[in-house]
Amino acid sequence: MLLEKPARERGFKKERLNRVLLNHVGGERSRYEIATEADVSSSWAYEYLEQLAEEGIVQDAVVLDPPALYERWRETRIEPNAVQVSLQQPLDRIRNAGPDYAVTTDEAEQVHQGFLFPSTTALYVREADIEEWLDLVAEEGFVGGGNTELRATDEHVFYNAQTVDDVTTVSVPQLIVDLLDEDGPATEASTRLMSRYHGLSDE
């Protein structure tokens, strides 16, 4: 298949836990609720939380050091599989297509912060909808070297997705870690967004 999610499961558990923790850094979720929302066993979640606690990153279910947890997530994340396509007015096509989506990187950053000029429209799609998205590309665009990137990964990436100004984006923590994986201005954008979202000082 032209696009499918990465063929592994183990590494997704940590990603899910990181995602839930960074969406609720102030301890709004109990350790049990974190495990449930990450769809991992309680014992596995508690063991991982203990590892983070030993490093001073969390205390119980409170994230003490968000930047350190983002860096850990970035270093251990499983890269999504992706295919580059070309669409005219991609955001309009995506919003009107029908299947679920969650925009990330440039376009999502523009929605939440407005620091970057969106040069590429990157979006996560559900595995069950991949063929429908590829059919849309075949009808209205073409595959390869374009202005749009379809991404497939563990569907927990849709956790806490938000719709702002009629655009559905990934959660802000997911956006931050995706920006951290980019080069140049995206790194600065991620730092600014992290500080703003988590109320961090500039020191």
**Gap between the Cα atoms of 35 and 24, Å rounded:** 13
- Whether the full predicted model's pTM is greater than 0.85, yes or no, is yes
The pLDDT of residue 203: 46
Per-residue pLDDT of the chain (203 residues), as tens digits, is: 578 878 666 679 999 999 999 999 999 999 999 999 999 999 999 999 999 999 999 999 999 999 999 999 999 999 999 999 999 999 999 999 999 999 999 999 999 999 999 989 999 999 999 999 999 999 988 888 789 999 999 999 999 999 999 999 999 999 999 999 998 899 999 999 999 999 987 54
Q: Could you give the angle at which helices 105-112 and 185-198 cross, rounded to 10 degrees?
A: 40
Question: What length is written for the chain?
Answer: 203
Q: Residue 101, exposed/middle/buried by CB under 10 A (0-12, 13-18, 19+)?
A: buried
The pLDDT of residue 104: 98
pLDDT tens digit sequence for 34-66: 999 999 999 999 999 999 999 999 999 999 999
The three-class DSSP label of residue 96 is helix
Please report the domains of the chain, with CATH numbers, ordered by start residue. 10-76 (1.10.10), 81-198 (3.30.460.40)
A 10 A CB-CB count for 202 gives 6
Of 31, 3, 75, 40, residue with least CA distance to 159: 40
The pLDDT of residue 200: 87
